[in-house]
Amino acid sequence: MNTELTFELKSICFDEKYHPADSTRLTTNFANLARGASRQQNLRNTLRMIDKRFNDLAHWDNPEGGRYAVELEIISVEMYLNGKSCDASFPLIEILKPSILDKATNKYIDGIAGNSFSSYVRDYDFSVLLPEYNLQRTEFRTPENFGDLHGKLFQEFVSSNVYKQRFYKQPVICISASTSKTYEQTGNQHPVLGTEYQQSELSSTDQYFAKMGMKVRFFMPPNSVAPFAFYFYGDLLNDYSNLELIGTIATMETFQKIYRPEIYNANSAAGKLYQPSLKHQDYSLTQIVYDREERSQLAVKQGKFTEEHFIKPYKHVLQQWAAEFAI
């Protein structure tokens, strides 16, 4: 019997009143901030940082630097095996979707889906499967077919009618550049994305996203201090407007300043040749409070949750589906 995957989208606003749902991955950028005594102040400061960065980049016809306001929506993707009537369901991924309010026209501009991409299966792959595979190895390696299932699940979702009915453009996922690679400026400049960098070989993360069907380019936006990795389908520079790209940059740069200040809130900018490092000491902290150690531990816990409740019980069903997968 062929296995059919169906998807359901749920959404909630990411604002000062946000409380994570029970099914939300607690390591996500947004859920991690909305916990503890500082939750409301964290959320308020984060949203202010996003708005300020957006207006800094969208500076034309914006003399007072307050023309735009970014509103964020958390999109949760629930996946069902063989229909919603079946008990086999799982929270597949979560992403942020920005909408940009232009106060000059009082109209909204759609942002790009994909911000703060998070995935239970990715937690399992990187926090459980990969460490276990390398436990007795002297040289780091990835297992055969590493990322295949996750990549196929993601492509199935992006090609589904559920995705196409909700989002009119393909996703762009912006994350930190790899600390294991060295990046070199190419001389290419984009007015919004900024200075382009390239690397000599793909990182394990790049290869993982390639399994999702996505290409990668690296840019350091104006007044940023380090390049970001942008994963995309199609043509990153021509498929999206400047304001759409700014929405992605403003959101993800804010989260990276909070969670990776050693790289993205460093006190000096990347040069022509650059290797990111979390051991860098010359950086500034934001005023946003969170438990960094707890966040790293939760990734392992949620990876094991995925193994117990999704990978092991549905192993044969998933293997059959993956073998028959075709876009």
Q: How far is CA 132 from CA 3, 128, 180, 286, 300, in A?
A: 29, 6, 20, 34, 12
Residue range 17-46: mean pLDDT, rounded: 70
3-class secondary-structure state, position 274: strand
Q: What is the pLDDT of residue 23?
A: 53
Q: Model-level pTM?
A: 0.93
Residue with tokens 């995925």: 306
Residue with tokens 């290419």: 188
Domain ranges within the chain, ordered by starting residue: 5-324
How far apart, in whole angstroms, are the C-alpha atoms of residue 110 and residue 4? 31
Q: What is the pLDDT of residue 27?
A: 47
Q: Give the tens place of pLDDT for each residue, 247-304.
A: 999 999 999 999 899 999 999 999 999 999 999 999 999 988 776 676 677 788 889 9
How far apart, in whole angstroms, are the C-alpha atoms of residue 86 and residue 299? 28
Task: Compute CA 95 distance to the chain's CA centroid, rounded to the nearest angstrom.
Answer: 7
